[in-house]
């Protein structure tokens, strides 16, 4: 198993609801070499924020979509509130784990499957009507175990490789893929003329909140936001097949919150072709990323690198290891090229 695949699987297995990112924060601080700074909001900065050199920032959000405890009934059923985009079809009957912030205990349960008489079989059951069954008889039993309102609830899954060893299946690949890419680049790429700042942001899935704070702390000359989006290469996923797994990272022309800097995009494209690294054009028509916040802070050149991931915002997603490694290779080559070229970042 490659170091990249191993790290991604380890990060996938961690739990980090927006606002409760401690597990991923700790893992990245242990993994990434060199200095690290943490702000009051919880964002992490790997690199020298006080440098007089030009700065390239790599943004990766540490949180994931999930739920928190909303209400506990007297007979021990737990109603939950979603954070991030969830589709009811993928939730019923799934196994979950709740982390008690009071004592660190992890409680396993499942989302109850409702009786057929509750809803028409053609309907999507609203999340507000679903509940979690932890196999207890009372609210008091859950409270004695440490569970309370606000505790995070996430899919109870474990990352694994596909049978052909080419892909990773697991939860939270949005955006542990980016965390892996950022960590590997920080540990592998040495520069002389520029400072590379790895930024682990919080609360992206709750409205790109962390990046609004982080952009002002970093004040980078170039911003690269690393994220993922649903691959459109599965049956009936889209009329036009794009964001294809195995074709490398997407260089994003636009998403709903930001326009990619085309000069920077073309530069990355040229580096990719020069080094024979797989890449593809992308357009995120259905959502936004941290780029929207970062780009609007000071208007500095910003570009999103998007890794194709199938089945985002569900219990298990799939990513091609080759796409993750191609993203690392391409970003590393871009950084080295800028560093060796005298760091004329004003060209963008």
Instruction: From residue 288, give the alpha-carbon distance in Å to each of 11, 97, 217.
Output: 23, 28, 21
User: Where are the chain's structural domains?
Assistant: 4-64+171-347, 66-155
Helix axes 321-340, 173-188, angle to 10 degrees: 40
Distance CA(236)–CA(249), nearest Å, equals: 22
Distance CA(298)–CA(48), nearest Å, equals: 20
Half-sphere exposure of 218 (CA within 13 A, CB side): 35
pLDDT at 240 over 80: no
Tokens of 39: 């702000």
pLDDT at residue 88 in the model: 85
pLDDT at 58 over 70: yes
204 catalytic? Reply is yes
Q: How many helices (H) and strands (E) does the chain have?
A: 8, 17
pLDDT tens digit string along 94-117?
Answer: 999 999 999 999 999 999 987 766
pLDDT at residue 13 in the model: 98
Contact 60, 179 (CB under 8 A): yes
CATH 3.40.630.10 fits 4-64+171-347, yes or no: yes
Terminal CA-CA length for the chain: 38
Would you list the DSSP string of 11-63? HHTS--BTTB-HHHHHHHHHHS-S-EEE-TTS-EEES-TT-SSEEEEEEEE--
pLDDT at residue 342 in the model: 61
Q: What residues are designated binding site?
A: 61, 174, 205, 227, 313
Distance CA(262)–CA(320), nearest Å, equals: 27
Tokens of 142: 């859950």
* Candidate list 204, 273, 325, 340, residue with the active-site label: 204
Tokens of 279: 């890449």
228 C-beta neighbours (distance < 10 Å), count: 27
Tokens of 344: 């004329």
pLDDT at 127 over 70: yes
- For residues 92 and 151, the model is more confident at 151
Q: What residues are designated binding site for Zn(2+)?
A: 61, 174, 205, 227, 313
H helices present in the chain, as ranges: 3-12, 22-31, 139-145, 173-188, 209-218, 262-274, 291-298, 321-340
Instruction: Identify the three-state secondary structure at position 284.
Output: strand
- The DSSP 8-state label assigned to residue 125 in this structure reads P
pLDDT tens digit string along 308-327?
Answer: 999 999 999 999 999 999 99
Banded model confidence at residue 286, pLDDT cuts 50, 70, 90: confident
Asked if the domains at 4-64+171-347 and 66-155 fall in one CATH topology, the answer is no
The CA-CA-CA angle for residues 295, 16, 9, to 5°, reads 95
Q: Measured on CA atoms in the order 251, 268, 292, 187, is the torsion positive or negative?
A: positive
* Average pLDDT in the chain: 94
- CATH superfamily label, 66-155: Peptidase M42, domain 2 (2.40.30.40)
């Amino acid at each position: 198993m490659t170091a990249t695949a191993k790290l991604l699987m380890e990060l996938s297995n961690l739990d980090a609801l927006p606002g409760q990112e401690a597990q991923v924060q700790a893992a990245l601080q242990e993994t990434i070499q060199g200095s690290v700074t943490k702000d009051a909001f919880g964002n992490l900065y790997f690199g020298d924020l006080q440098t007089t050199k030009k700065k390239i920032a790599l943004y990766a959000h540490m949180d994931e979509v999930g739920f928190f405890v909303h209400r506990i009934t007297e007979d021990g059923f737990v109603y939950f509130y979603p954070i991030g985009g969830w589709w009811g079809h993928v939730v019923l009957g799934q196994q979950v784990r709740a982390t008690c912030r009071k004592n660190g205990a992890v409680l396993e349960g499942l989302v109850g499957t409702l009786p057929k008489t509750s809803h028409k079989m053609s309907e999507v059951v609203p999340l507000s009507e679903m509940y979690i069954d932890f196999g207890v008889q009372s609210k008091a039993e859950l409270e004695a175990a440490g569970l309370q309102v606000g505790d995070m609830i996430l899919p109870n899954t474990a990352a694994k490789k596909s049978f052909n060893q080419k892909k990773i299946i697991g939860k939270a690949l949005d955006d542990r893929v980016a965390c892996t890419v950022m960590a590997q680049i920080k540990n592998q790429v040495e520069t002389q003329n520029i400072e590379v700042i790895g930024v682990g942001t919080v609360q992206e899935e709750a409205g790109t909140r962390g990046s609004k704070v982080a952009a002002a702390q970093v004040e980078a000359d170039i911003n690269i936001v690393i994220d993922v989006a649903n691959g459109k290469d599965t049956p009936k996923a889209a009329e036009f097949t794009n964001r294809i797994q195995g074709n490398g990272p997407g260089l994003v022309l636009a998403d709903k919150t930001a326009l990619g800097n085309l000069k920077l995009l073309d530069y990355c494209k040229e580096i990719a072709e020069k080094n024979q690294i797989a890449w593809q054009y992308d357009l995120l028509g259905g959502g936004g990323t941290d780029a929207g916040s970062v780009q609007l802070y000071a208007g500095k050149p910003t570009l999103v690198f998007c890794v194709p991931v199938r089945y985002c915002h569900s219990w298990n997603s799939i990513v091609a290891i080759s796409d993750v490694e191609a993203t690392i290779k391409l970003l590393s080559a871009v950084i080295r090229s800028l560093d060796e070229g005298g760091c004329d970042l004003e060209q963008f």
